[in-house]
A and B are shown apart, each in its own frame.
Chain A
């Protein structure tokens, strides 16, 4: 099962054969550091608020996707309900500011903690089940949380939502906070997965009964994994509250926009890989906006430049059909790259180079 994901039969996530070890480790180190460098410079190079906004979203999804990846990708428990944690984090931050008058920033870490508190009963209920049943239970709990937030008006104001004024006018501080959160998430996951815990998670994914018989307390480690996911996702939720300034139950507990998007980020990027969620986040946000704005206004510009009516109509259709484009992309990616971009990297490169070879030969 794990063999074809481009990793060797060794269950440790980052193992490789001894000879290539040094070379691979260097490459593995340089790329992410290079990326981090670019990201740190980003808001200084690009002053456009809109682009910064997109990057903040990307970084937020890196955190959420990484969290999901821990419980689903590494531990094999595919959760359909991560919005429960996101929403909890968001509401914690929001209620701190709105009801207690404390700055929502204090709530950020607390948001993660509250999400972990939610993860405890969540896990207790859901881990009794396996596979499809587990997924359905997480989905149901997600919806229950959403209903609670909508109906418990005395606490959450229901569908009226929570609005707070943002602390900073400029996006740059938010950007760096998001970047810090994303970097810390990825780093801590790398450390966790390189440790004994990482071993346990993967062994649970590969064969839970075998792991149990080896003396690993699967229930405990599944809970640990879920709590990690919950903490990260909860923090992302608090960040969202601080940044967006407005939340309501439909937005932050959304099955479709949060839970399923988290899964897509993980799957498109590559489950069970460290940088999969990073790539997935970039791709999903970029593609979503890309389609929504009609290729960033490309079609509109084209229409104006050519003055052609036909292009205008096509532009109209593309923008209208942006969700359709997105859906088709999802279907295609899952069909062709089931292990995600990072997971199926070799496969992708293989196809590309064979295409190139054919071109050269012909």
Chain B
């Protein structure tokens, strides 16, 4: 009797053997791993919807050389080890030709190691930690810029305005925050800025006042924050409560560009700059069309993560079309020679500095002006003029 239970216990996982890769025999399988549940589910959902939007468009216009693309999406729950289980499953059981998605840096990092080892190409579209493309792994490609390049546009902007001398960096204690702050600190040194305070915090804090009051005492010219959306809005609200007035507030992550930030922070969000990778008004064909179609299809706005996913799908389809053989290796070689334009920008995988197979894209500066997110830098793509220095709280 005990035997029954023990054997049953063993057999339970084996049950799944019954159906492995049974259906979709003549479609081209593309795997995607995303956080569909857990804390990051919201962004996972946006990316998933974007992938689906793209694949539907591609299939509707004849697919790839007449074959349809079948998306197999797995939930990583936002955790690296689940991400590994997910990608293992995609590679072993679903036998996908290529994997995309990933989202957070830590999950992406854990997953690409598997992809490289199993020699299945992985197109990273969101994970931004630099090291992901610094390993000389020939099966890993990245569409989006690494986190160290996010504030590139900020660099040229600061050179333009000139009178910014001191900076304070605040960052969340995650892979993204810790690595991003180190890179930005270095960039400040290169620009001749003095970083007078650099401090991390655990995401989800209720009260940032002790931290902000220290920032206020240092009287910096500008405050750079690497935060996710809700921390970002609390930081701004509490900065307003404390009457903290640097000349410039800059956000270093998606947190500051999402509609939730503006909704939650209200007028405290006004005049906040942010480095960003994409807005609907970027001069790439299809960008605005994608933004509008997403809003029409799903009834809610998209943002740059979605654009990354959408573009990634097109890149993978393009590689599938050009591949000389429909095997992971053939696809890898096709991806390496990608040279195309997408709604997210031009895509060509090159090597520079320590990186390999990394796409290079410019970044932009946006600023919240009276509830609207306007692109303000570089000047040639700006939709509005930037406001600098940022008006003091009691002067608004």
Interface 0/1 of B67-109, CB less than 8 Å to A: 0000000010101111011001101110000000000001001
A49 touches B91 (CB 8 A): yes
B19 touches A301 (CB 8 A): yes
B91 contacts across to A, CB distance below 8 A: 49
A283 close to B (CB within 8 Å): yes
Report if A50-B117 is in contact (Cβ < 8 Å); known contacts: A31-B6, A304-B23: no
A251 touches B20 (CB 8 A): no
A169 close to B (CB within 8 Å): yes
B178 close to A (CB within 8 Å): yes
B173 close to A (CB within 8 Å): yes
Contact pick for B14, options A51, A278, A322, A349, CB 8 Å:
A51
A292 contacts across to B, CB distance below 8 A: 75, 77, 82
Q: Which chain A residue lies CB-closest to B79?
A: A251
Q: CB within 8 Å of B: which of A249-269?
A: 251, 257
A345 touches B2 (CB 8 A): yes
Contact pick for B109, options A161, A165, A275, CB 8 Å:
A161
B299 close to A (CB within 8 Å): no
Q: Which of B16, B22, B114, B131 has the most CB of A within 10 A?
A: B16
Q: CB within 8 Å of B: which of A199-249?
A: 244-246, 248
Interface 0/1 of A30-63, CB less than 8 Å to B: 0100110011001000101111011100100000
B7 close to A (CB within 8 Å): yes
Q: Which of A292, A341, A342 has the most CB of B within 10 A?
A: A292
Q: Could you tell me the distance between the alpha carbons of A296 and B85 in the complex, rounded to whole angstroms?
A: 13
A289 close to B (CB within 8 Å): yes
Contact pick for B9, options A282, A298, A323, CB 8 Å:
A282
Q: Could you tell me the distance between the alpha carbons of A153 and B178 in the complex, rounded to whole angstroms?
A: 10
A169 touches B117 (CB 8 A): yes
Interface 0/1 of A287-328, CB less than 8 Å to B: 001101100111001001000000000000001101100000
A163 close to B (CB within 8 Å): yes
> A10 → chain B, closest Cβ, in Å?
21
B217 close to A (CB within 8 Å): no
A31 touches B15 (CB 8 A): no
B88 touches A50 (CB 8 A): yes
A333 close to B (CB within 8 Å): no
B179 close to A (CB within 8 Å): yes
Contact pick for B1, options A39, A169, A349, CB 8 Å:
A349
A48 touches B92 (CB 8 A): yes
Contact pick for B7, options A38, A161, A275, A304, CB 8 Å:
A38
> B118 → chain A, closest Cβ, in Å?
7
> A67 → chain B, closest Cβ, in Å?
19
Q: Could you tell me the distance between the alpha carbons of A296 and B89 in the complex, rounded to whole angstroms?
A: 11
Contact pick for A251, options B13, B22, B81, CB 8 Å:
B81
B113 touches A296 (CB 8 A): no
- Chain B, interface residues (CB within 8 Å), range: 35 or more
B320 close to A (CB within 8 Å): no
Q: Could you tell me the distance between the alpha carbons of A289 and B9 in the complex, rounded to whole angstroms?
A: 13
Q: Could you tell me the distance between the alpha carbons of A282 and B14 in the complex, rounded to whole angstroms?
A: 12
Q: CB within 8 Å of A: which of B1-36?
A: 1-3, 5-7, 9-10, 12-17, 19-20, 22-23, 36
A48 contacts across to B, CB distance below 8 A: 17, 20, 92-93
A22 close to B (CB within 8 Å): no
A34 touches B3 (CB 8 A): yes
B37 touches A283 (CB 8 A): no
B16 touches A293 (CB 8 A): yes
A166 close to B (CB within 8 Å): yes
Q: CB within 8 Å of A: which of B129-164?
A: 129, 131
A161 contacts across to B, CB distance below 8 A: 80, 106, 109, 175
A290 contacts across to B, CB distance below 8 A: 12
A185 close to B (CB within 8 Å): no
B37 touches A322 (CB 8 A): yes
A244 touches B175 (CB 8 A): no
Q: Which chain B residue lies CB-closest to A48?
A: B92
A244 touches B81 (CB 8 A): yes
> B1 → chain A, closest Cβ, in Å?
6
A159 touches B3 (CB 8 A): no
A163 touches B178 (CB 8 A): no
A279 close to B (CB within 8 Å): yes
A50 touches B89 (CB 8 A): yes
Contact pick for B6, options A245, A279, A322, CB 8 Å:
A279
B174 close to A (CB within 8 Å): yes
> A154 → chain B, closest Cβ, in Å?
12
Q: Which chain B residue lies CB-closest to A171?
A: B88
B12 contacts across to A, CB distance below 8 A: 282, 286, 290
B80 touches A246 (CB 8 A): yes
B92 touches A49 (CB 8 A): yes
A184 close to B (CB within 8 Å): no
Interchain residue pairs with CB less than 8 A apart (6): A49-B88, A158-B173, A278-B6, A283-B9, A296-B15, A297-B16
Inter-chain pairs besides A50-B89, A251-B79, 19 sampled, C-beta below 8 Å: A46-B14, A48-B17, A159-B178, A160-B179, A161-B80, A169-B118, A244-B80, A244-B81, A246-B109, A251-B81, A257-B79, A283-B9, A286-B12, A289-B85, A319-B36, A319-B75, A320-B37, A345-B1, A345-B5
Give 4 closest A-B pairs by Cβ, nearest first: A296-B16, A282-B9, A49-B92, A246-B110
Measured CB to CB, the residues of A under 8 A from B are 31, 34-35, 38-39, 42, 46, 48-51, 53-55, 58, 150-151, 153, 158-161, 163, 165-166, 169, 244-246, 248, 251, 257, 275, 278-279, 282-283, 285-286, 289-290, 292-293, 296-298, 301, 304, 319-320, 322-323, 341-342, 345, 349
